[in-house]
């Protein structure tokens, strides 16, 4: 497994002006390593905070410095255990609000419950909307997130929402590899827009789509390929890899249809259940993910490459703080 960071250079020098002193970074317990990388990009330290869990499982948070009148950025991807990490984020937001922070931005690289974004049957919850309501109600003034499962989630918020993409980091990595006869593959019909945008940035590479029928949650059934993959290098593009059923069945189908090599790339390495054994089985040449979610050593395997999105997130935080354009990072 290899770790690489993109060559994004800071567009600033952190001066001692009162406005820069207003910027404060804090992080929850879900991805401390990523938060530290973001802090080092911004040339600052993560603010002091006590986090503890009582004997009955309740969480406690206390900010250890004055943040009155400050712009506070709380870094907390809501990954597994999602409910603990989400509750910790809400408690951090509430603590900052009660401590008179001027502006509170929830930096959520991985937005938990993003797949529960609509009703597919009667009597279901739209949990992604509930999560949005809770974040807003807790007191956040703004949200910054990366590669949402569906972009419509931005509309669940009535506060400003900055949506950023890992694409520059992934493209930067692919540009270092000499891949010929490339075809970008969407593992399902829902991911076509994402795969098409990715293909366009890779010298307008051709696109293929895997059409599948899903019978129940976390069970994918691959049907057939729309597009030509014979003797090509196929790159499966998705927003996340969870149990890896979709990706590995897709990869097997691509091999059967004559693809020479198969790569998989995704922003969020959720990696639940049988994901590691499936991904390391040898059907995939390489699995490229980012560090929005921490990957424990036990979940690392030979084909895995983890790219850092810390500089992208750091740059976005700086631009939000400086009131400059975030979208121009992706043009």
CA 118-120-124 angle, to 5 degrees, is 75
Identify whether 230 is a catalytic site residue. Answer: no
How far is CA 67 from each of CA 13, 98, 109, 144, 211, rounded to the nearest angstrom? 22, 10, 23, 20, 51
What is the total residue count of the chain?
331
H helices of the chain, in order, are 18-21, 32-41, 82-98, 127-138, 167-175, 192-201, 245-256, 275-279, 310-321
Query: CA 266, CA 202: separation in Å to the nearest integer?
Result: 16
User: Cα dist. 170→5, 191, 281, 309, 330 in Å?
Assistant: 10, 17, 23, 9, 12
81: cis peptide before it, omega within 30°? yes
> For residue 285, what are the contacts with CB-CB under 8 A and spacing of at least 6?
261, 262, 263, 303
Catalytic residue among 212, 230, 232, 249: 212
The residues annotated as belonging to the active site are 212
């Amino acid at each position: 497994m290899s770790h690489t960071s993109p060559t994004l250079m800071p567009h600033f020098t952190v001066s001692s002006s009162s406005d820069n002193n207003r910027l404060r970074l804090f992080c929850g317990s879900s991805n401390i390593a990523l938060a530290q990388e973001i802090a080092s990009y911004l040339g600052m330290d993560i603010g002091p905070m006590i986090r503890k869990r009582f004997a009955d499982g309740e969480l406690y948070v206390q900010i250890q410095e004055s943040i009155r009148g400050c712009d506070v950025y709380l870094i907390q991807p809501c990954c597994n255990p999602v409910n603990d990490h989400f509750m910790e984020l809400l408690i951090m937001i509430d603590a900052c609000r009660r401590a008179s922070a001027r502006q509170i931005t929830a930096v959520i690289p991985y937005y938990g419950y993003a797949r529960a974004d609509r009703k597919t049957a009667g009597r279901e919850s739209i949990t992604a909307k509930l999560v949005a309501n809770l974040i807003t109600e807790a007191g956040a003034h703004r949200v910054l997130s990366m590669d949402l499962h569906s972009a419509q989630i931005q509309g669940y918020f009535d506060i400003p929402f900055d949506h950023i993409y890992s694409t520059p980091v992934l493209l930067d990595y692919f540009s270092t590899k000499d891949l010929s006869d490339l075809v970008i593959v969407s593992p399902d019909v829902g991911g076509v827009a994402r795969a098409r945008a990715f293909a366009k940035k890779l010298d307008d590479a051709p696109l293929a789509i895997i059409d599948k029928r899903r019978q129940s949650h976390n069970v994918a059934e691959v049907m057939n390929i729309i597009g030509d993959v014979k003797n090509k290098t196929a790159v499966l593009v998705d927003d996340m890899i969870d149990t890896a059923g979709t990706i590995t069945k897709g990869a097997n189908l691509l091999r059967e249809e004559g693809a020479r090599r198969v790569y998989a790339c995704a922003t969020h390495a959720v990696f639940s259940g049988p994901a590691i054994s499936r991904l390391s089985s040898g059907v995939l040449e390489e699995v490229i993910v980012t560090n929005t979610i921490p990957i424990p050593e036990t979940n690392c395997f030979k084909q895995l490459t983890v790219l850092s999105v810390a500089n992208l997130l750091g740059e976005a935080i700086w631009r939000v703080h400086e009131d400059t354009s975030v979208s121009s990072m992706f043009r």
